[in-house]
Amino acid sequence: MAAARIVVLTGAGLSAESGLGTFRGKGGLWEEYDLEEVATPEGFARNPTKVHGFYNMRRGWLQQAAPNAAHFALARLEQEHGGEVLTVTQNIDALHEAAGCRNLIHMHGELARALCAACGASHPWTEDLSLGTDCPACGESGTMRPDVVWFGEMPRQMERIYEALGVCDLFVSIGTSGTVYPAAGFVAEAHRAGAHTVELNLDPSEGASLFAETHYGAATDIVPAYVD
Ligand code: BJW
């Protein structure tokens, strides 16, 4: 791959073949769960026990999940490519890291961390959360939440992401429906910077027409084929 600076954006489709559900489409999490109830600060304020249950369930899934061929291909890209590769993931699983990816931003947070609403400290977390969980830093009870980004909240490290998009030569979007902003707007930012833009997905995303190059199929097939 000749491009010097690469930004890779990943979404739920990348981890689908690792057994972690996607959100939209047939069998997606939003078919069974109302996103207003489980993925907004207002939903958490109304019913924290329900929200904890949703994320405890998904934290449990992480114990069984292993990185797939697409995660490994992206880690290889980072290790073997001469220029900078920045992976920006919307996924809250830890499968990029498990595959060996190091230059990584979790823009929607991490399921394996918990955040205290009282003192703002973030802690590595593998246990279930509940209203009775005390913050290990300040000792407050009932203030812990999953360290993830809900609708209406600011995604993480946006300054660093836009900086990288503004100077990238290649932007590759993988396994995302392109329906959630600001991630859905990254292709336009990269295009503005003069980057070549590529979509790798099971089927065309919302923003498919914005990409210069597209490849459709399962991530474990098309990502290794594209990278290697
Ligand atoms: C495969 C595959 C296989 C399947 N191989 N592919 C109106 C207009 C514009 C914006 C807004 C608006 N109204 C509100 C907003 C803002 C809002 C938003 O975008 N809403 C939209 C619904 C319109 N966004 C926000 O609130 C964000 N914050 C924000 O905007 O702050 C202000 C700001 C201002 C200025 C700068 C920056 C920010 C926060 C969004 C938080 C999203 N949170 C969630 C849940 C939390 C984490 C979690 O629980 O996991 O994040 S929602 C959910 O969607 C999750 C995901 O990360 C995110 C994206 O989903 P993704 O990854 O695309 O998954 P799917 O399921 O949608 O798609 C999977 C794809 O894979 C499909 O295309 C399949 O085909 C494919 N696939 N199998 C390859 N084997």
Distance CA 113, CA 57 (A): 14
Span from the CA of 12 to the centroid of ligand 1 (angstroms): 9
Q: Which residues pair with 87 in a beta bridge?
A: 8, 104
Q: What is the pTM of this model?
A: 0.97
State pLDDT tens for residues 52-82. Answer: 999 999 999 999 999 999 999 999 999 999 8
Dihedral sign for Cα atoms in the order 76, 198, 4, 155: negative
- CB of 211 closer than 8 Å to CB of 197: yes
Distance CA 131, CA 137 (A): 16
The DSSP secondary-structure symbol of 115 reads E
| Cβ count near 72 (within 10 Å) | 20
Residue 1 has pLDDT above 80, yes or no: no
Distance CA 42, CA 199 (A): 33
192 marked as binding residue: no
What domains sit in the chain, N to C, each tagged with a CATH number? 1-20+67-108+155-228 (3.40.50.1220), 23-64+111-148 (3.30.1600.10)
**Checking DSSP bridges between strand 122-124 and strand 144-148, what pairing results, if any?**
unpaired
Of these residues, 108, 123, 191, 196, which one is catalytic? Answer: 108
SS3 46: helix
Q: Which of 18, 151, 161, 220 to mutate to test the pocket of ligand 1 (most atoms within 8 A of CB)?
A: 151
Question: Residue holding tokens 């210069």?
Answer: 212
Span from the CA of 113 to the centroid of ligand 1 (angstroms): 20
State pLDDT tens for residues 115-134. Answer: 999 999 999 999 999 999 99
Dihedral sign for Cα atoms in the order 213, 218, 222, 227: positive
Q: In what order do the strands lie in the sheet with 122-124?
A: 122-124, 109-116, 144-148
State pLDDT tens for residues 80-89. Answer: 998 899 999 9
State pLDDT tens for residues 206-219. Answer: 999 999 999 999 99
- CB of 9 closer than 8 Å to CB of 174: yes
- Nearest CA owner, ligand 1 atom 77: 13
Interface predicted TM-score of the whole assembly (ipTM), two decimals: 0.95
Distance CA 123, CA 146 (A): 10
State pLDDT tens for residues 139-176. Answer: 999 999 999 999 999 999 999 999 999 999 999 999 99
- Residue 187 C-alpha from the chain's centroid: 16
